[in-house]
Structure formats: C-alpha cells, structure tokens
Amino acid sequence: MNELSIVVPCVSTIETLPKFIDELARYLMVNPSDVDLIVVANPSAKNPEMIVEYARKNYPWLKMTMLQRSSRDALFGALTRFGIAHSASRYAAIVSPYGEDDLSIIPKMLLKIRQGAQVVQATRYTKPEDARGMPFKFKVYQVIYRTLTRALLRQDITDSTYGFKMFDRAFIQALGLTQNGYSICPEITLKALLAKGKVGYVSSVMKPSPLNKDFNLVREGLGYLWILARGFGHRLGILWF
C-alpha cells in the first residue's frame, strides 16, 4: 500500500499534464516509492497515451495510473470520486493540473495528516496576501459561505470549497461521497467535521488559472448550498449526511 495517492481530475484539457508532472516530480523525488499519481480524464481528452509515455520516459520511478472515462464527459466531482475509487493508499490528495494549486505545500500537508488529521485543507485566508489573486466575486461568495457554515453547522472553517486538500482515504470513503460537481470539495471537509474528524489547515497562495474554464459559480453554488442543507439536517438529527 502506498502512503499517498494524488488524484488529478482533468475536466477539460490534458495538455497541461507534462508541465504539471514536471513540477509535481520536484516535490515527490524525496520519497517516490510511497506516492502514486492517479490522473482521471474525460473521454473527450485526446491522446492520453502520450502523457503516460512522457511520464515513463522522464520519471520512470513515478507510479502513475491514467484513467479515462468511457461514457460522456463528467464534472469535477464525478472524476474525483472515480479516481479515489481506484486508490489503495492510506491518504489521498485532490490536485488540479491547471496551475491553481501550490504544489510546494504537499509535504506540509502530508506532515499534518501524519500527525492525526483526517482532512488537511489548503487555505488562502491565513495571510491577507495569499488571496490577492482571487477574483472579487469569489471572495464575496466565500464570505457568504463561511457565514452560512457558521450559522447552520456551527463550524468556523475557511476555504472549504477549495478543492486542494488531503484526507484519510478510508475515513472519507466510509462517510460516503455523492457529489458530482465542485460541491464534493466542501462535502469532504464538512462531513469530516460532522463525523468528529480533525481538520487541519495549511496556508496556500492563490494562483489563478485561465485554463480551468468549467467552473460555473451559479451551478456550483446550488451544489454548495445543498451540502449546507444536508449538513444542517444532519446536525439536527433529521437525516444522515
């Protein structure tokens, strides 16, 4: 069993993967045998075998699995759940291939989860300068979501909707993941908290990416609100989250 699976959902293009693998490899070479990379692409992705060939040629030590769905294109959450289902590692991390995530903090996240956290959330709100690159409308919805989370779930957390996180795979899978969109991101964090799990945070810089164009705030916002509603019902004992 590997210690960590890095799950990479490619909702749109996979052309960024060689550059992503180059950057990721710099942080994995210190302990390559304990990490595997699981890339999940939609059926519209072209020539995924070239990505595998690139990785094998340049990083023969890297354990990489390239998965491609055979049905219609899926959203972020569906691809993420597909990748997690193929992991046998103790921990899993969700990482974007489009440049938003600060890969240099992966060792810090791994250290924190080794210390007993069930979820380690990258957050762009620890330092004021970390969120400078975030568009204004996203800052507004984040404030609203944090306020609603505090009011409905009695949980004071930051950046739960950010997809860059690491978690105890078996613990999270036992809680059940159901969301197909980006709402899987708060689903992981909020379910862990409501199950009395420990959530840790690691400071991360916001790095906007023009390549990830599938995010729709209106569509995803409905999913985020649904997660809060389900969590509120769970807290009241009305239904199981």
Reported pTM: 0.91
Q: What pLDDT was estimated at residue 157?
A: 85
pLDDT band for 210, please (50, 70, 90 cuts). Answer: low
* Residue 211: pLDDT over 60: no
Q: Is the pLDDT of residue 199 over 90?
A: yes
Q: What is the DSSP string of 44-82?
A: T---HHHHHHHHHHH-TT-EEEEEE-SSS---HHHHHHH
At residue 213, the pLDDT reads 59
Give residue 200's pLDDT.
95
Q: How far is the CA of 57 from the CAs of 8, 38, 51, 157, 188, in angstroms?
A: 20, 17, 10, 42, 35
* Cα atoms in the Cβ-side hemisphere of radius 13 Å centred on 46: 3
What are the residue ranges spanned by the domains of the chain? Answer: 4-236
* Model confidence pLDDT, tens digit, residues 104-158: 999 999 999 999 999 999 998 777 666 666 767 777 878 888 899 999 999 888 8
Give CATH for domain 4-236: 3.90.550.10
Whole-angstrom distance, CA of residue 69 vs CA of residue 86:
13
pLDDT above 90: residue 176: yes
Cα 46 from Cα 184, distance rounded (Å) = 26
Contact by Cβ (8 Å): 45, 70: no
Q: How far is CA 169 from CA 61, 212, 226, in A?
A: 23, 25, 23
pLDDT score of 60: 92
On whether the CB atoms of residues 192 and 128 are closer than 8 A, the answer is no
Instruction: State mean pLDDT over 23-48.
Output: 87
